[in-house]
Amino acid sequence: MKILADTSVWSLALRRKKQNDVANALSELILASLIVMIGPIRQELLSGISDNDIFLRLKAALEPFDDLPTVTADYETAAQYYNICRSNGVQGSHIDFLICAVAVNNNLLIYTTDQDFLLFSGYLPIRLYNPAATS
């Protein structure tokens, strides 16, 4: 099964100098060709980098990953997920709900370190990837 790695995972793997369990798991998934990228995650990763050399290095590191297209149904599902969670007192960003929608609509697991996704999973049909469960 393919896995949509959230911004939090990529950030830990790419922007930190020290190796960690998250980076190691992401590397294994990349080597197994299981990782999926979407444009909004790429945008989040590249946003806020004031040093153009670092921006260009990160952009180059992400180039091998083609973006899975996001379609109208993904945005509509994301809005529905936002409404469901909001009505249950759970808040999240529009991109987080788009990640949930793309994952559900494309039968993907979500790999994240963002605890908000655990809250979302109480109301949405998302499935989270747990690297410890596959070891």
26-57 tens-digit pLDDT: 999 999 999 999 999 999 999 999 999 999 99
* pLDDT tens digits, 78-120: 999 999 999 999 999 999 999 999 999 999 999 999 999 999 9
In angstroms, how far is the first alpha carbon of the chain from the final one?
16
Domains of the chain by residue range: 3-134
Nearest to 85 by CA among 106, 113, 93, 68: 93
CA 14/CA 25 separation, integer angstroms? 13
pTM, two decimals, is 0.93
Residues 3-134, CATH architecture = 3-Layer(aba) Sandwich (3.40)
Pairing state of beta strands 35-36 and 109-111? unpaired
